Amino acid sequence: MALPQAKQSVTAARLDELKLPAGAAWITEIRKDALSRVRDMGLPVRRDEYWRFTNPDELTSAEPEPAALFHNDEGPLFADMDRLKIVFSDGEFDAKASDDLSLEGVEISRLADASNADIHWVQDLYGTLERNAQVPVERPLAALNTAMARDGVLIHVTGAVSKPINLIYLHKSEVSDATLHHVIRLEEGTELTVLETGPAAARFNKSMEVDVAQDAKFHHIRAQGRDHERRAVTHLFGRLAEKSHFKSFTLTANGKLTRNECVLELTGDDALAHVAGAALGDGAHSPFHHDDTVFITHDALNCESRQVFKKVLRNGAVGVFQGKILVKEGAQKTDGYQISQSLLLDDDSQFLAKPELEIYADDVVCSHGSTSGAIDDEALFYLRSRGVEQTEAQDLLVLAFLAEALEEIEDEDIAAALQTLLEGWLARHRR
């Protein structure tokens, strides 16, 4: 079927300048395959139903829009924590800033190296979850990522891992256009925590494919960097085997345009997937548009999934939530929960939500809800009448609003670090 003209020209313009990275035969095959998917699907345009609330133009343009670097006096996040640091500056691996990649219980390598070698587990996985996720909804920017990513981290967890792996994304050039693709495989019964921090680039297209084997547990904590003008599209793909856990939390503050897609498939019985996000947007200095798009497929018995997304918006900030729970035929005893809420601090801000349930099994519990509201004046007065200053009272109520999402973070130190970050953001955005 021929693509509409608008899609054709956007796609052609974007692909025109791009060359497939060099690599071994196996990955070249996968990249070519992904590229042909991009050509077939065409890059997203505003008229696409899946992009109804978010204009993809700045994510698909041939050149990235420049993004000014943002400086603040905060120290790096998780600095006090024992972690293995892997640093990318504008999408380029930074060996000097990174730790040695050897860590007990896990094999870590770079995609740039591996694509010239034969690593079997990666060959089976790279681009696979992305390709599976193209049905029933097309995700052409993820296919583009699979085709074009030169680098990323490959993590194979085979035993006990003593500390989290922190992927740190530095933004140093105002016109950088970064693409990274990470692949993670947790073998049976293993556990891994991955931290992602930093703004990455003026424009960032990142994919992470995570394959979680039986009884394994994957924890993902992300704090998207605070550069006001950065634009990012990210895809988090997960495949969950029997009794496995997948927990992801994302904190987003600032960013002109962010689209975080999360696509999970629960393929083994008794698996559990929790995805949560807290976004703080202030459109005062630069536009803020944040889009969480989640698609969770239940394809096994007795699985649990939770989506908890909270957004605090002010000064014309825009928040988007598209969340779907698909329960396939036979996925009985599914427990699915989805909540998306926004706190609008003024009349200029907007929250657009599209919660969806699609259920083909008859013995399931699924609930979803979506709300938008302002600060509760009664609560504000109550706090003030006890002596709490108006700005502080408002911050308390904002933090209270976000609490349900933050409670999804299991690790107390990580939760505390993010809480501090949030409090700092609120303090700077008082008016």
Partner 1 sequence: MLEIKNLHVGLEEEDKQILKGVDLTVEAGKVHAIMGPNGSGKSTLSYVLSGRDGYEVTDGSATLEGADILDMEPEERAAAGLFLAFQYPVEIPGVGNMTFLRTAVNSQRKARGEDEMSAAEFLKEIRARAKELKIDADMLKRPVNVGFSGGEKKRNEILQMAMLAPKMCILDETDSGLDVDAMKLVSEGVNALRNEGRSFLVITHYQRLLDHIKPDVVHIMADGRIVKTGGPDLALEVENNGYADILAEVA
Q: Name the amino acid, one letter, at 157.
A: V
Distance of closest approach, residue 400 Cβ to partner 1, in angstroms: 3
* Nearest residue (CB) to partner 1, 160 versus 403: 403
Q: Name the amino acid, one letter, at 310.
A: K
* Nearest residue (CB) to partner 1, 13 versus 375: 375
* Nearest residue (CB) to partner 1, 137 versus 380: 380
Distance of closest approach, residue 418 Cβ to partner 1, in angstroms: 16
* Nearest residue (CB) to partner 1, 97 versus 403: 403
* Nearest residue (CB) to partner 1, 221 versus 393: 393
Distance of closest approach, residue 291 Cβ to partner 1, in angstroms: 25
Distance of closest approach, residue 404 Cβ to partner 1, in angstroms: 7
Distance CA(116)–CA(80), nearest Å, equals 36
Distance of closest approach, residue 290 Cβ to partner 1, in angstroms: 21
Place of tokens 């909804």: 137
* Nearest residue (CB) to partner 1, 155 versus 383: 383
Contact partners, residue 120, CB within 8 Å, separation at least 6: none
Torsion of CA 168, 141, 338, 196, to 10 degrees: 0
Q: Are 247 and 408 in contact (CB under 8 A)?
A: yes
Distance of closest approach, residue 393 Cβ to partner 1, in angstroms: 8
Distance CA(192)–CA(364), nearest Å, equals 30
Distance CA(244)–CA(266), nearest Å, equals 9
In the numeric block, which tokens belong to residue 207?
A: 């994919």
In Å, how far from its chain's centre is CA 132?
A: 18
Distance of closest approach, residue 391 Cβ to partner 1, in angstroms: 10
Distance of closest approach, residue 381 Cβ to partner 1, in angstroms: 6
Q: Name the amino acid, one letter, at 425.
A: W
Q: β-strands 335-344, 304-314: how paired? A: parallel
Instruction: Choose among 196, 11, 192: nearest CA to 105.
Output: 192
At residue 235, φ and ψ (nearest 5 deg) are -125, 130
At residue 16, φ and ψ (nearest 5 deg) are -55, -45
* Nearest residue (CB) to partner 1, 185 versus 311: 311
* Nearest residue (CB) to partner 1, 75 versus 387: 387
Point out which residues bind partner 1 (CB under 8 A): 376-379, 381-390, 392-393, 396-397, 399-404
Distance of closest approach, residue 399 Cβ to partner 1, in angstroms: 7
Distance CA(6)–CA(42), nearest Å, equals 9
In the numeric block, which tokens belong to residue 124?
A: 């089976």
Other beta carbons within 10 angstroms of residue 411's beta carbon come to: 16
Q: Are 395 and 224 in contact (CB under 8 A)?
A: no
* Nearest residue (CB) to partner 1, 360 versus 381: 381
Name the strand (E) or helix (H) holding 193: strand 191-198
